[in-house]
Structures are given as C-alpha cells and as structure tokens.
Amino acid sequence: MDPQITVLDAGGQYCHLIARRVRDLGVYAEVAPSETPAGDLARRRGVIISGGPSSVYDPRSPTIDPALLDSGTPVLGICYGQQLMAHLLGGLVQKGERGEYGFAQLDITAADTIFRGIEGRQQVWMSHRDLVVKPPEGFIVLAGTETCPIAAIAAPERRLYAIQFHAEVVHTPSGRTILSNFLFDVCGCRRDWDPAGQVQAVEEQIRAVAGDRNVFFFVSGGVDSTVAYTLCLRALGPDRVHGTYVDTGLMRDGETEFVRTNFAALGARAFAVEDAQARFLDALAGVIDPEKKRHIIGEQFVDVQEKILESEHFLDGHWILGQGTIYPDTIESGGTANADLIKTHHNRVAGIQKLIEQRRIIEPLASFYKDEVRAIGRELGLAPELLDRHPFPGPGLAIRCLGSERNGVPKRLEDGWLLPVQSVGVQGDSRTYRAVLALEQFPASEEEAARLINRLEGINRVVVAVWTAAPLPELRVSPAGLTAERLARLRRADAIVRRLAHESGFDKEVWQFPVVLIPAGTAERPDSVVLRPIDSVDGMTAQAVKMPPELLARMVRELSALPGIAGIFYDLTNKPPATIEWE
C-alpha cells in the first residue's frame, strides 16, 4: 500500500506519533528522513514536517528539499517544522526570551483554514525556545500565544501551513481536528487504513523474521513483554518459545511471584526465574549519573542473557532473542537520525544494538505505542490484571532511587526552594539535567508549575513539600548511592502507595504512578519520597494529576511513619518539560 502522507523526520520526539495520529484518522502514513528528495514525494497527497531539537541556524540542523515547498504538494510544519518552513522561505526565526514548555493558551485569529470548526481560546502543548518572529512574504498569521505571537501561519493558495505547537499530542485537545482539516480539506485524503486487526499481520511478521529459529524471551512481567511473548506463543507455538525472568533486585514488592504465576497461566511450557540480585547491585554500587545507571543495567542484562543463552545452548543458530521493545524506547534513546538522546533505555544499549546488527533479535511491537499494545493484548484475550498494569521501567527502581555525590542545602529563591537534586527533563525535544524547585504549598493553578519552569532557566521540575520532619530549608542532601537499604526503603514506600491507590480506585484514574526516593533529609531520616501520579496515553507526553486530598492525607500518614523518611513531595510537572521518570 502506498502511503498518502509522509512525515519527514527532523528528529522530534513525537515524529512517529504524528504518523500514528494520521493512521488513527484512517489515513495510511509513513515516516521518512527529512532530506527526502521532493521528487520521491510527488505521489503523496500531503507531507508533514516534524518537530526537532535543533535550531534552523545551526549548519548541522536537519533540513528538507526546498523544492518541496514549491511543488504544490500540501505541507504542514509542526514546531521545528514551522521554523524550518519560515526560514527557508525568507521569514525570520529567533531564540525567544524564554522557553515555552507544556501547556499554553492559543488565540486563533483566522479560523477558516486548518482551524475550521475550532472556536475560542484553545489549550495547546508547546516545547520550544526558538520561534518565528516574522513570517515569510505572502503568509498570514493564524494564531498566537502570550509567549509566541506567531504560533500558526499559512499561505493557503500555496497549500502551505505551519504550527508552533504539537497538534499530535493528546494534551492539545483540538489537535485531532487540526490534523483532520489538513488531511481531508487541504490534502483531499481518503480513508484507507484501519488500525484494528493488527494481530494477524504481526504474527505473520514474527514467522517471517523467525524462520525456522526458536525465540528466547527475557520477560519483565510488564504489558509490553507480556504481549510480545504471547504473540510469539501464538505465532510459533509453545514448543518454540522459551521465557526467563531475571530478578535484578530492582523490582517491586511481590513482582517475581506475580510474574511466575501469570506466565504459567499463558501456557508457556518453558519458563524460568534467574536470581541476579547480587550481580546488579554490585555493578551499580556508587553510581550516581542516571545515564551510567541505565548503561550498566542494560549491559548487565546483556551479560546475564549471554550467560543463560550459552549455558542452555541457545546460541547454536536455532534461536533468536525476543524483546517487548515499543517505539518510545527507541525514539527517546536517539533512535532516529536527527533525534536527541533523552535517556538510554535498557533495551537499546550497545550490547543490544550488536544483537540487532547480527539479526538475532525479534521485536514484534517496535512500531507500536503503549495504548496500541494494550489494544493488541485485548484482541489476544489477555487478562485485565496483566493489560491494565501501570507501565514500569525496565531498569526498575534503580532509576527511581536517586543518589548524590556531595552535600548540599536548599537555596532560597523568590518562588520557593531550589533543591540540590537533579532530574532528567525533555525541553525543546532535547535532554536536560537540572535542579528541582520545591514549593511550600500547592500553587493556585496547575499552570503555575509550567510558568515557573518557563521563567527559571535552571530547573525542569517543580514539586511541593506536602510533609517534612524538619523545616524544608533544614533538609540536607547527603552523599548517597544505590544500596540495598535505600532500595528496601523505596520498595516499602512504593508498596504503600500502590495499595492505597488501588483501594481508593485512584490507580484507574492515572496512567502511571512512579514513587521516587531522593537523598534529602536529616541525620536520622536521610531520604524523602516524591509522589508522581501522571495521566498519559502513550508516554510521549504526560500531565501531572492531583489526587483527592483525603487519599493524599492517608498516604502521608503511612509514608511519614516509615523509618528513614524525612519528607514527602508531590511532583506537579508535566512532560515536557520533565520526563515521566526522574532519571
């Protein structure tokens, strides 16, 4: 099938999400490199230029074939795509006085174009620092925000359109209408794609890739690996699929037994549990840097896998390795030509890349997002207790247990306290590693956290101190690493939060609820807990969620009674500018 729409990849974190949204609207789409020649796109009904982490003035930044903008093919630029279109056609792009990350309010001034059917001020999702300050000649301004007066432009007679915000993410409620207007009104697309019924196609792909080889899976018990494993069981039969769960010592309370019980119920005939706790903890001792943690965990996984594969003779040419990798794992690891590294996922480290190059890996879900994986799982008939689990990172609690190499104290700012703790963020499609701002009470509105981050250059996350054993400015950050004691402390806190969220039904109102341990406290209570309930669809963007006050009060009562806990903080930050996980 020839695609009607091509998404040109300029390195944006949401590039494949654009194609996904187009498919959701019933139109088949593909992703291609941004430099694809205009002649190769001549048969497309439309082209979309994605966002990206670069600046159009950087000589190494992604570009497109300029002939595309004079070809008559409809083009929609998104974020960096708007800046690139304006730059190539003689407009002016500059770095803004401040960034714009997360929610923004859009005022539409011309509603009869791609904004047809959209009325009033609109919530949109932004992630940029550069902006168009002068549109190209012949373009009209369609909409703007307080920070970005030129947030949408168009030359309708040339069928060229561009928007600074991300229409493809769920946190731009009118985004689906904007994309639909472009696809059907501007491009004249027809509906030719039904995203349902993917199971048969994926199973055929599994059989084609596996050939006469069997598949060995290292499963985590999460949604992705469970669905991928089940697909292989169906495609190849239980005699050709072997599964092993590696207990890293970084998992949640009761996780190993949960996995053992549920995978036996899937019909797996060969399933084993490998105890590797000491190995992982020894390798991670004293490691603070989040990227080093991820690399070490990934490489340890590969080493354990190689040991098992060699001992069980799985390297004799009749076996390949199966993984539950989904698309966000590859895009956040810099998996496309122009993408920035946000964080390295454990299934994209060097050892895994080597296996990919050797054609020894099968990843049935590598083109899908989390909600699509759940849809496939439902079609497979998997139990809700498996499919409805909150996503849990492959590196486990290791990336939720933050460390510190030095002592530090909170620094007073006009708006709150700057904690000497750093976390990973994603701002302007690029990775940041910045400090955390702690407030002493919840702000009046959810948008206040985003405004603080946009105004203060050195932070990417805002939390509120819900409870502290000592006054907030007296909490001290002390040198701390990843130890069995601190992991046990985090595991107990996580178990409390999961239990109370489940009993109250709050776990059904959020997509994920990470619990984080940071080394901020007192001599007797060296750590603090951070609560991070968020809502999302696919993990590419996320919105912080406030829980009911009575539930928060119950959590505070139980968490504050844990030995070693000096504070409880509540993360108010959306993604972007923060990542869902802290590391």
Active-site residue 168, yes or no?
yes
Cβ atoms of residues 104 and 139 within 8 Å: no
DSSP 506: G
Catalytic residue among 15, 79, 148, 401: 79
Cα separation, 210 vs 395, whole angstroms: 27
Beta bridge partners of 244: 218, 272
Give the pairing type, strands 140-144 and 92-108: antiparallel
SS (H, E, C) 53-80: CCCCCCCCCCCCCHHHHHCCCCEEEECH
Longest pairwise C-alpha distance within the chain: 70
Question: What is the DSSP code string of 512-526?
Answer: B--EEEESEE-SSS-
Question: Where do we find the tokens 């956040």?
Answer: 332
Catalytic residue among 16, 87, 100, 168: 168
Any residues with CB less than 8 A from the CB of 483 and at least 6 apart, and which? 281, 285
Cβ atoms of residues 161 and 173 within 8 Å: no
Nearest to 92 by CA among 150, 153, 146, 136: 136
Catalytic residue among 16, 87, 128, 166: 166
- What are the tokens at 143? 């909409």
Rg of the chain over CA atoms, in angstroms? 24
Cβ atoms of residues 225 and 321 within 8 Å: no
Active-site residue 79, yes or no?
yes
Cα separation, 166 vs 172, whole angstroms: 7
Q: Count CA atoms closer than 13 A to 425's CA, side-chain side.
A: 28
Q: Which residues are catalytic?
A: 79, 166, 168
